[in-house]
Amino acid sequence: MRSEKLASWRLIEYTTIAVEITGSIALGLVVAGSILALLGYDPARGIFLLVFGGLRNPDYLLSRAAFIAMTALAFSIPLLAGVFNIGGEGQMYLGGLAALLAAVYSGNAAVAILAGGLAGAALGLIIGALKAYRDVNEVVSAIMLNLTLFYVIVYAITAELYDPVAPHESIKVPKGARLGVIRFGGLKLHIIFPLMLALVAVAYYLLYHTKLGYEIRASGFSPKAARYAGIDPKKTSVYSMVVGGFFAGVGGALNVVGFTYYIDNLLTCMYGMGFTGIGVALMGRNNPIGVALASIFFSMLVLGGSRMQMLMRVPKEVADTLSGVIIVALSLPYAYRMLISYIRIRRMVGVGAEQHS
């Protein structure tokens, strides 16, 4: 009987989420189409290109989605613990650099990916520990570290790790340390996308089928209630940052050893993906499976926007605005529900504490 009620509750929850997402996408498309019409463009053609134009290059679309999914997990996992990991950008940079060095010196892709993940986890540990034990705001420390790491890595690529043949690029990942591609007839798919799906499955299992995942989610809902249950919210928040940093670092590693095979001197291969992951995490409802789907959808919008620029002569700023409208429409309902749930739980815990005092 209890299992039947649980299954019924989950069906209602998933149906509600599906209706909410469908309605949000529809609203976003209507607003985007209205903007195109007001600017004198064909809204039907513009929306079609925006949503489906990126499907002409599925390999690049899915590869880009893999990187974004990693930084989205880097934000969503700490957020479930009540911590804002804005450091996914820097964690990805550091993971990419560590993976490059590990690939060059070990010649092994697995070692490079592990090195990238550990580098990102180490940075997450620093930010999380500063927050938990020195009360340093994680947003401030992460933004400062992002900027510092950007220039440190740019210097390293420009001054020490540059390729003599192409000075604006780093030394190349050896061929033996590169992740390959899978071919389906005339189509190819970089292995990084299947690896992303495997990592998403690991993240889902960690969050919903392990003690650590339960502690992360409990601490995020209410630190006070978590303490009553014997959970240390400070320690859990640090663990969540370590796990999040690991995923961001792996994202940088996959970029370097699985797609570009080098780092350019302006980090354009990774620049902005950490902050993009924040929106994608909210689009995916902070659920690893939702994050994977949201990263694919976001990549479709980005590549579709580029195609719309080429075929309809739409300015880049307009294309980015249209994508942003859809992303905001998808993210706001979840952000609102999360805020309301947080407020309700805080009130319930407060009432319970008063009754026991």
Most confident of 11-20, 209-218, 275-284: 209-218
* Mean pLDDT, rounded, for 97-107: 96
Domain boundary assignment for the chain: 34-352
In the beta sheet, which residues pair with residue 188? 183
For the cut 60, the answer to whether the pLDDT of residue 356 exceeds it is no
* In the chain, % of residues over pLDDT 90: 70
pLDDT in tens, 171-203: 999 999 999 899 887 788 999 999 999 999 999
How many CB atoms neighbour CB 27 within 10 A? Answer: 17
Question: How is 242-293 classified by DSSP, letter by letter?
Answer: HHHHHHHHHHHHHHIIIIISS-BTT-TTTTTHHHHHHHHHHHTTT-HHHHHH
pLDDT in tens, 110-150: 999 999 999 999 999 999 999 999 999 999 999 999 999 99
In the beta sheet, which residues pair with residue 169? 264
* Mean pLDDT, rounded, for 55-59: 90
Residues 74 and 286 sit within 8 Å (Cβ to Cβ): no
Question: Burial, 337: exposed, middle or buried (Cβ in 10 Å; 0-12, 13-18, 19+)?
Answer: middle
Give the model's pLDDT for residue 14: 73
Of 21-25, 59-63, 196-200, 311-315, the least confident: 21-25
Give the model's pLDDT for residue 18: 78
For the cut 70, the answer to whether the pLDDT of residue 301 exceeds it is yes
Give the model's pLDDT for residue 292: 96
What class is the 34-352 domain?
A: mainly alpha
pLDDT in tens, 204-260: 999 999 999 999 999 988 888 888 888 999 999 999 999 999 999 999 999 999 999
Give the model's pLDDT for residue 350: 59
DSSP state of 162: B
Q: How far out from the chain centre does Cα 71 lie? A: 3
CA dihedral 293, 240, 237, 86 (to 10 degrees): -60
Q: Residue 171 has which token pair?
A: 């030394």
Q: Residue 295 has which token pair?
A: 């990263």
Select the more confidently predicted residue: 138 or 4.
138
* Mean pLDDT, rounded, for 312-323: 91
* Mean pLDDT, rounded, for 65-91: 95
d(CA 253, CA 314): 34
Residues 220 and 80 sit within 8 Å (Cβ to Cβ): yes
Prediction pTM value: 0.90
For the cut 70, the answer to whether the pLDDT of residue 5 exceeds it is no
Give the model's pLDDT for residue 6: 59
Give the model's pLDDT for residue 339: 73
Residues 139 and 85 sit within 8 Å (Cβ to Cβ): no
d(CA 246, CA 226): 24
List, in sequence order, every beta strand (DSSP E) within the chain: 181-184, 187-190
- Split at pLDDT 50, 70, 90, the class of 25 is confident
d(CA 278, CA 327): 11
| Average pLDDT of every residue of the chain | 90
pLDDT in tens, 334-350: 777 777 766 776 666 55
